[in-house]
Structure 1
Amino acid sequence: MLIAGFAAGMFQTNCYLVAEGPGSDAIIIDPGQDAAPNVREALAEYSLTPVAIFLTHGHLDHTWNAQELADEFSIPAYIHAADRPMLTDPGVGVGRALSQMIGDTVFREPEKVIEFVDGEDVEIAGIRWGVAHAPGHSPGSVLLTPDLPDDPETGESVSVCFSGDVLFNGSIGRTDLPGGNHQQLLDSIAATLMGRDDHQVILPGHGPQTTIGAERTGNPFLVDLPDAQKKGRFGL
Structure 2
Amino acid sequence: MLIAAYPAGPLAANCYVVAPAAGNGCVIVDPGQEATEGLAKLLAEHRLTPTGVLLTHGHFDHVWSAASVSREYNVPVHIHPQDRGLLTDPAAGLDPAMVGQLSALLGGQVPGEPDHLVELADADTVALAGLQITVHHVPGHTPGSVVFALPAGDDQPEVLFTGDLLFAGSIGRTDFPGGDHPTILDSLQRVCLSRPDDTTVLPGHGPQTTVGQERATNPFLRGIG
Please give the range of the TM-score, normalised by the shorter of the 2 chains: over 0.9
Q: What's the % identity of the aligned pairs? A: 46
What secondary structure, in the 3-state scheme, does the structure 2 residue paired with 1:100 have? helix
Deviation string 1:35-74 (CA, Å, 9 cap, x unpaired) is 1100011111111000100000000010011111111111
Paired position in structure 2 for 1:43: 43
Paired position in structure 1 for 2:167: 168
What secondary structure, in the 3-state scheme, does the structure 1 residue paired with 2:115 have? coil
Q: Distance in 2 between matches of 1:128 and 1:39?
A: 22
Paired position in structure 2 for 1:212: 211
Give the alignment's TM-score, normalised by structure 1: 0.91
- Does 2:130 align with 1:126? yes
User: In the TM superposition, what is the alpha-carbon distance from 1:107 to its structure 2 partner?
Assistant: 2.7
Deviation string 1:117-175 (CA, Å, 9 cap, x unpaired) is 10111111100001100000000010101125322xxxxx4211000000010100011
Letter in 2 for 1:5: A
User: In the TM superposition, what is the alpha-carbon distance from 1:217 to its structure 2 partner?
Assistant: 1.4
What secondary structure, in the 3-state scheme, does the structure 2 residue paired with 1:138 have? coil
Paired position in structure 1 for 2:199: 200
**When the two structures are aligned, how many residues end up with a matched partner?**
221
Q: 2:111 aligns with which of 89, 107, 112?
A: 107
Paired position in structure 2 for 1:57: 57
User: In the TM superposition, what is the alpha-carbon distance from 1:183 to its structure 2 partner?
Assistant: 1.0
Letter in 2 for 1:60: F
Paired position in structure 2 for 1:234: none
What secondary structure, in the 3-state scheme, does the structure 2 residue paired with 1:5 have? strand
Deviation string 1:162-196 (CA, Å, 9 cap, x unpaired) is 00000010100011111001111001101111111
- Does 2:191 align with 1:187? no
What secondary structure, in the 3-state scheme, does the structure 2 residue paired with 1:31 have? coil
Q: Distance in 1 between matches of 2:38 and 2:5?
A: 10
What secondary structure, in the 3-state scheme, does the structure 2 residue paired with 1:69 have? helix
Q: Distance in 2 between matches of 1:222 and 1:147?
A: 24
User: In the TM superposition, what is the alpha-carbon distance from 1:84 to its structure 2 partner?
Assistant: 0.5
Runs of 4 or more above 4 Å deviation: none
Paired position in structure 2 for 1:23: 23
User: In the TM superposition, what is the alpha-carbon distance from 1:105 to its structure 2 partner?
Assistant: 0.7
Unaligned runs of 5+ in 2: none
Unaligned runs of 5+ in 1: 152-156, 230-236
